[in-house]
Each structure stands twice: as structure tokens, then as C-alpha cells.
Amino acid sequence: MVAEWQEIIPQINKLVIKANPNNEPVSIDGSADGLVLAGTGTDAAVFRSLLLPHLAFKVYADEKCGKKAVEEYVYDRLGTSPYFSKKIGSGENFLVLSYEEGTTLYDCLLQGISIPLNVINEVEEAREHIRNQGLNPRDMHLKNILLYEGKVKIIDVSEYIQPGNDHRWEYLRRGYEQYYRYIDGKPVPSWLAETVRTWFNQSKDSHFTFEEFMKKVMALTFRWKI
């Protein structure tokens, strides 16, 4: 029996996804009837079909098809979980996933959408599920976590086969527990959010301490609020 999503393959084949240097989002050449761009990353672009809006088609750049194999492996290991997309199928350069509604926690900050405590608890449950499948819950940050009707979905699983702890989630959790009350429900300017993100990316060395980093962030935040 032919799966319904296979009817979309001819349209996917009209698209050429190209990777860009310096971790810039991919470029897209060509157009496909009935496919709507849902988002771009450094490895792939995600499309929705007007005919099958419950599905997401993640189409990888030719240079990044190794990442496709990795993510397919991870989704197969994760199985059915309320915290992750479900893999529906795959092709040579794409994955078919369940489409997940929601607002990233990053956009929640920008829009002043309150992030409830249960989000923290659900991410911890998702991380435990990842470990139980023999994987490593890395690269969990504000742009990878969706909030929809009070529930969490995690949308990027590509680093779960890599070793080590990048501490991203641990720092975010501590920041939430100790400082989030100061900005809860208040829209954060994009320049402020991007400044903090840039500082963090530039501070990941042996001298980094969470306490000193947050002193710097809170000083900037209080100057903004004044």
C-alpha cells in the first residue's frame, strides 16, 4: 500500500536545498506546488503540504544528508513519546515527521508569553526518556523547545548521538529558577535576547561560570527596564 505522503515526493524533487558557510540557514532553489515553507535550519528546510497539513517534510541539503541519517536513527530510537515528533517515513534526502504546533521558548520571551513551571518539568521528563533510549540529551535551548497549549515539544534531535554535556539546559533551568520572575510576561527586545545569546556562545570556555555570566546579563536587563 502506498503511503499518502509519497504523493508529495514529485514536488519535493523540484526543490534544491543548499548549505551555506558560517552556520547560516540553508538556501532554497526551485518551487513546488502545494508546499509551504515552515522553517529553515543550517542543515535542512521544513515544508508543510497543503494536502497533508499534519505532516512536516524535512528536506536536507545534499551536503548534509549524513545529518538526515543521524536524525532518522534518533527518531527511530525515541519511538513514540509525547515530547517529540513521530517519524512517519523517509526518502533519500528527506524525513516525514508529524507536524508540531507551537511557539518556541525564544519567541515566548520576545512576545511576553508566560512560560509556566511545568515546561521545565516536562523537558526534564523528555531528557529522561532520551537517556532511557541510550541517547544523550544535548543541544536543548530556547529555539528547540515549543510551547503549545501549555505542553512541550522538542524539535531538534540531531546531537543526541554525540557524547558529553554542553550544559545548555542546565544553565537555562537555573536561569529560569533564579531570574525568570523578573521578566515573566514582559516582552523582551530582540536585541537583548540576541546579545545574551551571542555572549553565551562566546563564553563557552574553561573560565565560564554561570554566576558571573548572569551578573552580566542581569546588569544589562535592569538597564533595559530602566
- Rounded CA-CA distance 206/169 in Å is 18
Q: Is 205 exposed, middle or buried (0-12, 13-18, 19+ CB in 10 A)?
A: exposed
**For the domain with range 4-98, which CATH number is right: 1.20.120, 1.10.3470, 3.30.200, 2.60.40?**
3.30.200
pLDDT for the residue 1: 54
* pLDDT tens for each residue of 173-212: 999 999 999 899 999 999 999 999 888 887 766 678 888 8
- Rounded CA-CA distance 146/92 in Å is 28
Instruction: Report the range of poorest mean pLDDT among 23-32, 80-89, 125-134, 215-224.
Output: 215-224
Instruction: Report the range of poorest mean pLDDT among 20-29, 83-92, 145-154, 200-209.
Output: 200-209
- Rounded CA-CA distance 12/103 in Å is 26
What nine digits make up the cell of 182?
A: 523578573
Compute the average pLDDT of residues 161-176: 93
Q: Is 22 exposed, middle or buried (0-12, 13-18, 19+ CB in 10 A)?
A: exposed
- 3-class secondary-structure state, position 90: strand
Name the residue with cell 508540531: 100
Report which secondary-structure segment, H or E, holds 1.
none
**How many other CB atoms sit within 10 Å of the CB of residue 150?**
9
| Helical spans, DSSP H, in 49-134 | 65-78, 105-111, 117-132
The mean of the pLDDT values for the chain is 92
Q: Is residue 225 scored above 90 in pLDDT?
A: no
Q: Is residue 136 scored above 50 in pLDDT?
A: yes
pLDDT for the residue 22: 81
Compute the average pLDDT of residues 139-162: 93
CATH topology of domain 100-186: Transferase(Phosphotransferase); domain 1 (1.10.510)
Domain with CATH 1.10.510.10 in the chain: 100-186
Cβ atoms of residues 129 and 81 within 8 Å: yes
* pLDDT tens for each residue of 13-57: 999 999 998 878 899 999 898 999 999 988 999 999 999 999 999
Domain with CATH 3.30.200 in the chain: 4-98
17 phi and psi, to 5 degrees? -105, 125
Q: Is residue 226 scored above 70 in pLDDT?
A: no
